[in-house]
Structure 1
């Protein structure tokens, strides 16, 4: 079963990456850790990196320091860290235990964001242009070199 899920996830990510027209922004509003809503479709006027993760996911945990460093190194890029299916207390405990300081940590209890893009599996990182349209999707653990390369391609 894990192989079938991985294959399905790869096919979905490949279809996203090879789409000729960038997908429109997700018309989804999610709660931030402080409870404030964030409309993912609201214009940000800057490129955006969205990381979809969970604290129970080993590759998610391994890539998080690289994403945190990229957020710090790229103040002109908006980073959103969208947790899948975990509660606020679990997320806060995980971030504190790992010593991670992230801006824009969002809770997606019903996994609406991956559903919007038609993806399964964790982690997945979406790279959106300044217009909010999906430019690239990376399924699986992502390293600092790939993060930097994808950010460099964004407008």
Structure 2
């Protein structure tokens, strides 16, 4: 008969430990999915944080002019930005000067609505990614829904945008 209280205490202890681990996992997972607290600048020198995009779904693409896959995907992202008003396309340049970025945009004939500068590469360092490009997909509440390492394609957008609550209309893209 003494074994039953011991078994009950063991089961209750195990349930407590499992519950505590689940709570810890949820806290860690929520922290990883939260918007990074990194400060950026616009080309005009104004400060901006990703928090300011909360309220509508948005994607954050980290790129550089010296990165061939970044250059290849840039027209697609610019077209996506122009054709899907319900989605904010945020392009964060990784470590280059405003002058170099402006020259690149003029060369490519691109007009980007949300262009931010990350001169010290803090966003990539914060996320732990090593290469460019990398794209983060956030829902309207600012929760990370997906991450795409490497060049984003139309197929990727068709798969990932609905997860953010955005309808993808490939026919709107040139």
How high is the TM-score relative to the length of structure 2? Answer: 0.74
1:134 aligns to what?
A: 144
| SS of equivalent to 1:70 | helix
1:81 aligns with 2:88: no
Higher percent of residues as helix: 2
1:43 deviates by 5.3
* Largest Rg, 1 or 2: 2
Runs of 4+, deviation exceeding 6 Å: none
**Contact 2:53/2:88, CA 8 A, preserved across alignment:** no
1:72 aligns to what?
A: 82
Alignment: residue pair count: 137
**Contact 1:31/1:107, CA 8 A, preserved across alignment:** yes
| SS of equivalent to 2:140 | coil
1:59 deviates by 0.5
Could you give the per-residue CA deviations for residues 62-93 of structure 1, whole angstroms, max 9, x where no partner exists?
01011111111111111110000100000000
Q: Answer 1 or 2: higher relative contact order, Cα 8 Å, separation at least 6.
A: 1
Please give the root-mean-square deviation of Cα atoms over the aligned residues, in Å.
1.6
1:6 aligns to what?
A: none
| SS of equivalent to 2:132 | coil
Unmatched segments (≥5 aa) in structure 1: 1-18
- Per the alignment, do residues 136 and 101 of structure 1 end up closer, same or farther by CA in structure 2, a change over 3 Å counting? same
Q: 1 CA distance for matches of 2:143 and 2:134? A: 16
**Contact 1:63/1:143, CA 8 A, preserved across alignment:** yes
Q: 2 CA distance for matches of 1:32 and 1:151? A: 25
Could you give the per-residue CA deviations for residues 16-57 of structure 1, whole angstroms, max 9, x where no partner exists?
xxx965610111120011211111123520111101000000
Could you give the per-residue CA deviations for residues 103-123 of structure 1, whole angstroms, max 9, x where no partner exists?
111110111111221211000
Q: 2 CA distance for matches of 1:111 and 1:90? A: 16
- Per the alignment, do residues 43 and 141 of structure 1 end up closer, same or farther by CA in structure 2, a change over 3 Å counting? closer
1:53 aligns to what?
A: 63
